Structure 1
């Protein structure tokens, strides 16, 4: 499939880092599909971005919702070239191992790991068919095994560790197809999740995901974890 203009799908795109990723991709000339659980939120975000943005209602915890949204996206744009898996939750600030809240753990994994995986399953085969794709999984240094030195936010950390593993496996499976798969740590960023006291603004937080989403053709960067455009240890 040939594209005159690349199309990006950004989950959790209606606010915070996701919204800024959408803005920056639109500024780089991409058509942007802004996905949010509520269409009204996606529509409001699109009004702030401009004509390059199109709204999608997508709940990543529902395979039916993901399938319907990706079908709508293809009808609107003809294909998806870039996927930024940004939707995520952090629910367990007070929990510490060895204790576990199984309901909370399942809810965290359902969004942060399985939700991203659902969207990958729906989108990546089309990228392989077209011979071009960029997949960016928004993760956290909290999920790095090498850097892990605390039991704080255990469900969140484990969900991001698992997302990192998915990134590595998917990159290996897609080697040579033209689809590059990487993970981006935006850092502690002012957002609904990061809170108002975080040291980084959304513009800085979005920089590395946008950089990975727009790697030029011929660039072989895949299977990596990056922060500030520099590699982090897994």
Structure 2
């Protein structure tokens, strides 16, 4: 009934089933999915976060309605489990990209799941800015774009970088889930090659490389945050 613990440990450390060409390809696919989706999540999430913050502060009834609509959409996509979101987006992904498989086919679901999550982090970062700084900019006649560019973004930048770091790490985990249903990457390698064929060494290597990617992302995020934060 299966392998003994000693057999599993021996297999993990001798790695007889590991094809390093497949491992490096899967690592590249994971990095590709994480990097592209993080960039788009940062752009879209920042825009959504700015809109949420400004419309929440506005006294205009139209802005209030706008905030309610955008907030509902953001909460909706944050609430949908990622694997279900992939399935729901299959027609959209096929229409836009012409494929639903491979690393590229996973990008729409990754981006749409991460952007609302990051948008909330952006909104929270802006809310933590000293209100006096923002009000001073308004009183000096600054327009909305100037306040966003000269006050909100610079003041919140350390928190924004911390937020995108958290988002990127969450996306690494999401790529692993996407890999289980054919998106490629280390998740695909761990499941289709490792789990289904009972190759524990493949699962072990895939897990270690995912952890390495997470640690690197965290290190870069912490370094950038400390570099920018002058407090």
Fold match (TM-score > 0.5):
no
Name whichever structure is richer in helix by fraction: 2
Q: TM-score normalised to the size of structure 2?
A: 0.28
Q: Which has the larger radius of gyration?
A: 2
Query: Quick one: higher RCO (CA 8 Å, sep 6+), 1 or 2?
Result: 2
Q: TM-score normalised to the size of structure 1?
A: 0.28
Name whichever structure is richer in strand by fraction: 1
